[in-house]
């Protein structure tokens, strides 16, 4: 699958409300995530735990909207 296809699959999964399924399928074991470049979380297990807590605070998922995306598949970015 191309980088562009992978990006679209992540977007589609999130928009369908399949956030954890998308996380499990596409995020790397050594993923590093943070909000506002503070308090980095390292590793898939730690970040999945954070996502579970985040989702536990949501009573109802109303959806999301993605604007334009820019993917340069030939350069892997």
Per-residue pLDDT of the chain (77 residues; tens, 9 = 90+): 888 899 999 999 999 989 999 999 999 999 999 998 899 999 999 999 999 999 999 888 787 889 999 987 666 55
Using CA atoms, how far apart are residues 6 and 76, in angstroms rounded to an integer? 11
Using CA atoms, how far apart are residues 41 and 4, in angstroms rounded to an integer? 26
Residue ranges of the domains in the chain?
3-61
pTM of the predicted protein model: 0.78
Six-digit token string for 39 = 């308090």
Contact 13, 21 (CB under 8 A): yes
């Amino acid at each position: 699958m191309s980088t562009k296809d992978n990006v679209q699959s992540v977007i589609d999964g999130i928009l369908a409300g399949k956030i954890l399924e998308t996380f499990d399928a596409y995020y790397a074991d050594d993923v590093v995530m943070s909000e506002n470049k503070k308090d980095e979380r390292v590793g898939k297990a730690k970040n999945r735990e954070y996502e579970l807590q985040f989702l536990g605070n949501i009573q109802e998922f109303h959806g999301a909207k993605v604007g334009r995306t820019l993917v340069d598949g030939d350069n892997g970015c």
